[in-house]
Each structure stands twice: as structure tokens, then as C-alpha cells.
């Protein structure tokens, strides 16, 4: 039975809730510069000439930063200060295709006398996740010949697809909290180029495939080999998507800056020691082939991301007596030419 006291309390809370909602609605209607829900109606444009990052703010939100020669533009702060609507996250930008708005904001900041108020020194940034809730997270297994060989696997005749979930997504400079030993202990690195989709792609040709790509990032397909390969029959997906097992960053670099994604140096360092050193030209299925193949199976949407496979040099590929699995305290750096160095620690 509802007592009078609890009824009054509930009614009071409801009134307060309604009032708060009304205030929020009014604020949204009046000012959209805070990235509140909206319906973008402009043309669908992918970002160009852009190096973007994610900033973790004091209020816990993760919002967009634009890297420029003069520092990083804090997009949320700039949007409010200059009263220019702009997408506040990379995912919003990609899904809406609202790059035009971001271009306007950047141009206004660069010509404004108040620009310094929205510029941040990159070294002071706590990086947030570039992606928090992509529509699809697709991964490619065994996509470099020398890696397939070191893993004692056949060279695949079609791309091997598997997935991660968004619990795996993590930021540049993150710390991956390893699970207890009884769950898993054979931890391994896999530096990979991440392909970021910018337009809906269904059954596209290899010749057209790159027109659907918004950009690329450095990423890690961090792996637990015991879960992936040794649990009764090996559960590939389980070994790949524990919490935080998918760091991405520090940057999203627009596709026009990269040009050919099939000729980039790709490396991994563990505690400063080089472990992987190859080139994306060594992929069995290049970015074009991957997109053409996947888009035959399902529609790729703006904001979908593809881990494109790792080269040789992983711990799994070493002779058994030389395998020293990663452990708490290790520091990993993944480096891809033109895309930047992704760093993270293990704990």
C-alpha cells in the first residue's frame, strides 16, 4: 500500500522530473550548440582533410577534437562559444554525414579572434574513445601470409570474418585490466589498420570500394590466445572481445589524407622492443577486396568499423619455448604510418 508520505515524495519527484524535462526541451529548442538530439538535414558529406580525436571531458563525456597546426579545437566548446551547430562525436559526424557543419566550425574558429579560448594543447588531453557504439564491428582473421604461416594456418581463400562487441572499444593511452589468471593468461598483441566506413555500401565493386571509406585509424585486436584457441574447441570471438580488448587511436585520419591504404608501415613495440614490423601492402585481401566481399554479405553503414588483420610477429607465432605472454605492467605501442602511434598499458 502506498503511504501518504511516500505518495507525496513520489508526486514531488514526478513534478520535479516534469519540470526538468520541460526545461531540457526548452533549452534544446532554443540552443542546439550542445549537441542535443537533432535531425540533421544537410547533404551527406564525409570528412576530408581532417585528423580527428576524442577528448574525455571532466563531465565524463567523450567529444570531438580537430587536430590543427595550432593545437586541437575543442568542438563542443567552439560550437557553444561561436553558436555554430556541429557534430560532437565522430560517430554522429559519420552517421549524419555532417562534415560540412564541422568544416564551417573549423573555418570560423580559425578566423575568430576568440579562437584561443577553444584551442587545447594536445599534450593536455585525456583521450576518449573514438567509437563507443558502432553499428558493426567486423574483424578479419589471418589476412597476412606470414601471419597465417606463423600460426600454422592455411592461407584463406576468402576473408575470415569474426567480431568484437562495443565493450571492447577503448581509447588511446588506456589501461587494459586483464582478467584473473583462471579466466585467461595468454595475452597477445595484434596491431591492425582500422577501416572506417563513411557511406552505406551494399554489393560494391573493388574498383569503387574505397569511395565508401571515411578514414582509417591505428588499432589493436588484443587477444587472449587460450580463450581463442584452447577452450574446448577454441572460441575465436570470445578470445577477442573481453572488456577493453579493442583500443583505437589516437586519431581518425580522413581517407583523402591517407590515399592508398595498401602501402603503410605497420609496427608493434612491447616495452620499447619491436615485435611486429610489416606493411599493409602484405595483406592477402586489401581494403578494397575486404569491403567488396563484406558488402556482398550485408550492408556496411557509416560508422561501421573493420579491423583488417595483423602481420606476423605475434607471440602465438613464436616457438612454444619462447612464448612469453603479455602481463600486467607491459606497455604496448602500435604504430601505423600516417595514422599515428596508439599506446596502452596492461594492469
**List of residues contacting Mg ion (CB under 5 A):** 190, 221, 310
C-beta of 194 vs 201, nearer to Mg ion: 194
CB of 262 to Mg ion, least distance (A): 17
Q: What is the DSSP string of 164-222?
A: --GGGEE-TTEEE-PPPTTT---EE--EEEEEEE-S-BSS--HHHHGGGEEEEEEEE--
C-beta of 93 vs 291, nearer to Mg ion: 291
C-beta of 254 vs 310, nearer to Mg ion: 310
C-beta of 288 vs 310, nearer to Mg ion: 310
Select the residue whose beta carbon is closest to Mg ion and give its number: 221
CB of 297 to Mg ion, least distance (A): 19
Hey, which residues does 140 pair with through a beta bridge? Answer: 161
- For residue 30, the tally of other CB atoms under 10 A from its CB is 8
CB of 142 to Mg ion, least distance (A): 8
DSSP 71: E
Local structure of 319: helix, strand or coil: coil
CB of 308 to Mg ion, least distance (A): 8
* Edge-to-edge order in the sheet of strand 191-197: 119-120, 71-74, 62-68, 51-56, 252-254, 213-220, 191-197, 305-307, 137-141, 160-163
CB of 131 to Mg ion, least distance (A): 17
C-beta of 74 vs 221, nearer to Mg ion: 221
Hey, which residues does 120 pair with through a beta bridge? Answer: 72
- Spatial CA neighbour of 165 closest among 132, 188, 142: 132
Local structure of 345: helix, strand or coil: strand
C-beta of 98 vs 219, nearer to Mg ion: 219
CB of 266 to Mg ion, least distance (A): 12
CB of 139 to Mg ion, least distance (A): 6
C-beta of 101 vs 192, nearer to Mg ion: 192
Phi-psi region of 259 (alpha: psi -120 to 50; beta: other; left: phi over 0): left
Helices then strands, each counted (H, E), the chain: 9, 19
C-beta of 64 vs 266, nearer to Mg ion: 266
- The helix, strand and coil proportions of the chain, stated in percent and rounded to the nearest 5, come to 30, 25, 40
CB of 306 to Mg ion, least distance (A): 11
Amino acid at each position: 500500500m502506498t503511504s501518504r508520505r511516500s505518495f507525496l515524495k513520489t508526486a514531488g519527484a514526478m513534478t520535479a522530473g516534469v519540470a526538468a524535462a520541460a526545461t531540457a526541451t526548452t533549452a534544446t529548442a532554443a540552443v542546439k550548440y550542445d549537441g542535443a538530439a537533432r535531425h540533421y538535414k544537410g547533404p551527406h558529406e564525409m570528412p576530408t582533410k581532417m585528423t580527428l580525436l576524442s577528448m574525455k571531458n571532466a563531465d565524463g563525456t567523450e567529444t570531438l577534437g580537430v587536430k590543427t597546426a595550432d593545437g586541437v579545437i575543442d568542438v563542443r566548446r567552439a560550437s557553444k562559444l561561436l553558436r555554430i551547430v556541429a557534430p560532437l562525436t565522430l560517430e554522429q559526424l559519420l552517421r549524419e554525414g555532417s562534415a560540412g557543419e564541422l568544416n564551417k566550425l573549423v573555418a570560423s574558429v580559425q578566423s575568430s579572434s576568440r579562437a584561443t579560448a577553444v584551442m587545447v594543447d594536445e599534450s593536455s588531453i585525456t583521450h576518449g574513445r573514438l567509437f563507443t557504439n558502432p553499428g558493426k564491428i567486423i574483424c578479419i582473421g589471418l589476412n597476412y601470409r606470414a601471419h597465417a604461416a606463423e600460426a600454422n594456418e592455411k592461407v584463406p581463400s576468402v576473408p575470415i570474418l569474426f567480431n568484437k562487441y562495443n565493450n571492447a572499444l577503448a581509447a588511446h593511452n588506456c589501461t587494459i585490466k586483464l582478467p584473473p589468471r583462471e579466466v585467461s593468461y595468454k595475452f597477445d598483441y595484434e596491431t591492425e589498420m582500422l577501416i572506417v566506413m563513411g557511406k552505406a555500401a551494399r554489393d560494391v565493386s573493388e574498383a569503387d570500394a574505397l569511395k565508401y571509406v571515411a578514414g582509417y585509424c591505428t588499432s589493436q585486436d588484443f587477444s587472449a590466445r587460450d580463450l581463442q584457441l584452447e577452450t574446448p574447441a577454441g572460441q575465436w570471438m570470445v578470445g577477442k572481445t573481453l572488456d577493453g580488448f579493442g583500443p583505437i587511436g589516437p586519431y581518425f585520419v580522413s581517407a583523402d589524407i591517407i590515399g592508398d591504404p595498401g602501402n603503410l608501415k605497420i609496427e608493434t613495440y612491447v616495452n620499447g622492443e619491436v615485435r611486429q614490423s610489416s606493411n599493409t601492402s602484405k595483406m592477402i585481401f586489401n581494403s578494397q577486396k575486404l569491403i567488396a566481399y563484406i558488402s556482398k554479405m550485408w550492408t556496411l553503414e557509416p560508422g561501421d568499423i573493420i579491423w583488417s588483420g595483423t602481420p606476423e610477429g605475434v607471440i602465438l607465432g613464436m616457438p612454444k619455448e619462447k612464448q612469453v605472454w603479455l602481463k600486467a605492467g607491459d606497455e604496448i605501442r602500435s604504430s601505423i604510418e600516417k595514422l599515428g602511434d596508439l599506446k596502452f598499458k596492461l594492469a
